[in-house]
Amino acid sequence: MRKPKIVVLGAGYGGLVTVTRLQKALSVDEANIVLINKNDYHYETTWLHEASAGTLHHDRVRYDVDSVINRSKVEFIRAEVQDIKIDEKKVILNTGEVEYDYLVVALGGESETFGIEGLKEHAFTISNVNTARQLRDHIDYQFATYALEEDKKDERLTIVVGGAGFTGIEFLGELANRVPELCKEYDIDYSKVRIYCVEAAPMVLPGFDPELVKYAVALLEKKGVEFKIGTPIKGATPEGIIVAKGETETEVIKAGTVVWAAGVRGSSIIEKSGIENMRARVKVNPDLRAPNQEDIFVLGDCSLMINEEINRPYPPTAQIAMQQGETVARNVVKLVKGEEGDLETFVPDLKGTVCSLGDDDAIGVVFDKKLTGTKASFMKKMIDNRALFMIGGPSLVLKKGKFNVL
Ligand code: FAD
C-alpha cells in the first residue's frame, strides 16, 4: 500500500512541534514526513527583539533544524515555498515541486504596514534573523558614524519605534539597555540620543493589565524613552517619519533609525494559494483544518481563531502555535491511521503572558498572578526555556537556554 505523504511547511514553533510529535507517533512504514523551511535553522521569533537591539548575538536565537528532527523518519528540504496548488495537492518551491496527501501550513506571519507610505522602504522590521542582524548593524553604524562626523547630525542618534504593542515594547526594553552601552563604546553623550515610541492607538500594550502597563511605561521613561501615544504615523522618508499632529496638521520627526513593530498579518503564500483567508490568515475549523479542505491544516500566525468569550481573535503567539502543533500532529496521525471518530477540537490553554522590558525586568500575568521586576523576568526566561524544551528536550535547553537568571 502507498504510504501517505505528510508535508509540513515552516520550521517555526508550530511546524517543529508538529514534526517532532509526528516522528514519535508514526513509524517509517506508516507515512513519509517531509519538512520544508527557508533556512536550515529554526529561530526563536520571541527572542528576535534581543538580537535586533544587539543585546543577544543572533546565533543564540537559532539552532539547526537537524538537531531536533530524526532524519531517518523526516525528510528535510531547505527551500522557499512559493505557492500551494490545492487542486493538484502540491507545493511549489523555488527548487521544484512536492506532492502531499496531508499538508500542514505553519509559515508564520509577515509585517503589515497598512499601506503607510514609505514604511516598507525606510523602516526596519523585527521579522527574522536577517532583519535582526541588519537592524543591529544599522544602529551600531549610526553611533560609529556620529562619533567621527565633524558636522555632527544629532538626528542620526534618534531611534523611532512605531508601535507600542508587545514587539515594540520588548524591543524598547532591550534598546534602553543597549543605548547606554553604545554611548560608552563610541564616547557619545547619552543626552544626545532620543528614543521615541510612536503609537496610533490611545494606549500602550492594549489588552494588558493597566497597572502593569503603568509600570512598563514608567520604567522605559526613566530610561529615556519618550512616548507619543495616539499619534498615527503618516509616512516614512529617508530622513525619518511624518506623524499626525492634531486633526489636520503633520509633524516631521527626523531619525537615523525607524523600526516598524506595529502590525502582523499572515503569510502571503496563503493569499496566493486561494485558501479562504482574512489578511492572509485562515479562519480554521475547530480541528485546525482550513474551511472546505479535508487535508490541509493551518496553524500559528497564519491561522485565525476567535476567542468566543470576547468575540475577538486570539493574538498570534508562540504559546498558541506550539499548542496547535500538538493537536495538528494528533489529528494527522488519526487520519493516517484511519482511526474512527471525530478529529480533536483545539482549545487554547492560556497560561499567561510575560512582556520583557530588557534582560533584567518584565511585566506579566502568569496563572492569574501579576508579576513585575525580577520575578517577571525570571518567569520570562523560564517560558523561553520551556519553548526549547517542548521542541528539543533537555539537551536543547542546556545548549541554548537562558540561565542568566537574576
Ligand atoms: P514562526 O515561528 O514565525 O515560523 C515560521 C517559519 O516559516 C520560519 O522558520 C520561517 O523561516 C518559515 N517560512 C516563512 N515563509 C516561508 C517560505 N515562503 N518558505 C519556507 N519557509 C518559510 N509570542 C509569545 O507567545 N510570547 C512572546 O513573548 C512573544 N514575543 C514575541 C516577540 C517578538 C519580537 C516577536 C516578533 C513575536 C513575539 N511573539 C511572542 C509572537 C510569536 O513569535 C509568534 O506568534 C510565533 O513565532 C508564531 O509561530 P509560527 O510557528 O506560526 O511561525
Q: Give me the CATH number covering residue 165.
A: 3.50.50.60
Do 205 and 317 fall into the same domain?
A: no
Other beta carbons less than 10 A from residue 101's beta carbon: 17
pLDDT digits (tens, 9 = 90+) for 135-152: 999 999 999 999 999 998
From 7, 17, 46, 402, give the residue whose CB has the most ligand 1 atoms within 8 Å, as the site to mutate: 46
Residue nearest to atom 29 of ligand 1 (CA): 46
Backbone angles phi, psi at 231, to 5 degrees: -125, 95
Per the domain annotation, does 377 fall within a domain?
Answer: no
Same-domain pairing of 209 and 335? no
CA of 260 to the centre of ligand 1 (A): 16
Q: Would 358 be classed as within a structural domain?
A: no
Given 241, 260, 279, the domain boundary residue is 260
**What CATH number should be reported for the domain holding residue 13?**
3.50.50.100
Q: Are residues 143 and 16 in the same domain?
A: no
> 144 and 182: one domain?
yes
pLDDT tens across 199-227, in order? 999 999 998 999 999 999 999 999 999 99
Residue 266's alpha-carbon distances to 168, 279, 317, in angstroms, are 19, 6, 12
Residues in the chain, total:
406
Number of domains in the chain: 2
ipTM over cut 0.95: yes
Residues touching ligand 1 (Cβ under 6 Å) are: 10-15, 37-39, 42, 45-46, 48-49, 80-81, 106-108, 126, 166-167, 170, 267, 269, 300-301, 316-319, 321
Domain that holds residue 20: 5-38+79-111+264-350
Are 18 and 129 in a shared domain?
Answer: no
Of the residues 236, 260, 284, which one is the last residue of a structural domain? Answer: 260
Q: Whose CA is nearest to atom 8 of ligand 1?
A: 12
Residue whose C-alpha cell reads 495538528 in the numeric block: 328
Whole-angstrom Cα Rg for the chain:
22
Compute the half-sphere exposure of residue 314: CA atoms within 13 Å on the CB side of its CA.
27
- CA–CA distance from 87 to each of 36, 298, 331 (Å)? 20, 17, 22
**pLDDT at residue 371, rounded to an integer:** 97
The phi and psi torsions of 113 (rounded to 5 degrees) equal: -100, 5
Query: Distance of CA 335 to CAs 8, 31, 183, 344, Å?
Result: 15, 11, 58, 11
Dihedrals phi, psi of 400, to nearest 5 degrees: -120, -5
CA 109 – CA 386 distance, rounded (Å): 22
Residue 57 domain-assigned? Answer: no
Please list, in sequence order, all residues whose beta carbon lies within 8 angstroms of the beta carbon of residue 90, skipping any fewer than 6 positions away: 84, 97, 98, 99, 100
The verdict on 240 and 123 lying in the same domain is yes
Same domain, 212 and 296: no
- 28, 153: one domain: no
The active-site residue, picked from 44, 50, 170, 326, is 170
Residue 175 and residue 251 share a domain: yes
Contact 260, 229 (CB under 8 A): no
Do 185 and 271 belong together in one domain?
no
In this structure, is residue 397 part of a structural domain? no
- 29 Cβ contact partners less than 8 Å away, ≥ 6 residues apart: 3
Q: What are phi and psi of 45, to 5 degrees?
A: -55, -35
Per the domain annotation, does 208 fall within a domain? yes
**Residue 332 CB partners (closer than 8 Å, separation 6+):** 6, 18, 22, 102, 104, 297
Per-residue pLDDT of the chain (406 residues; tens, 9 = 90+): 789 999 999 999 999 999 999 999 999 999 999 999 999 999 999 999 999 999 999 999 999 999 999 999 999 999 999 999 999 999 999 999 999 999 999 999 999 999 999 999 999 999 999 999 999 999 999 999 999 999 989 999 999 999 999 999 999 999 999 999 999 999 999 999 999 999 999 999 998 999 999 999 999 999 999 999 999 999 999 999 999 988 889 999 999 999 999 988 999 999 999 999 999 999 999 999 999 999 999 999 999 999 988 899 999 999 999 999 999 999 999 999 999 999 999 999 998 999 999 999 999 999 899 999 999 999 999 999 999 999 999 999 999 999 876 5
Q: Residue 269 Cα, ligand 1 centroid: separation in angstroms?
A: 15
Residue 247's pLDDT is 82
Position 2 scores a pLDDT of 82
The answer on 237 and 155 residing in a single domain is yes
Please check whether residue 402 lies inside any domain of the structure: no
Q: What is the pLDDT of residue 406?
A: 54
Considering the domain architecture, whether residues 309 and 186 belong to the same structural domain is answered as: no
Choosing from 212, 237, 260, the residue where a domain stops is: 260
Maximum alpha-carbon separation in the chain: 76
Q: Say if CB 299 and CB 333 are below 8 A apart.
A: no
State how far the Cα of 184 lies from the Cα of 180, in Å rounded to an integer: 6
Respond yes or no: is residue 170 known to be catalytic.
yes
User: Does a structural domain hold residue 375?
Assistant: no
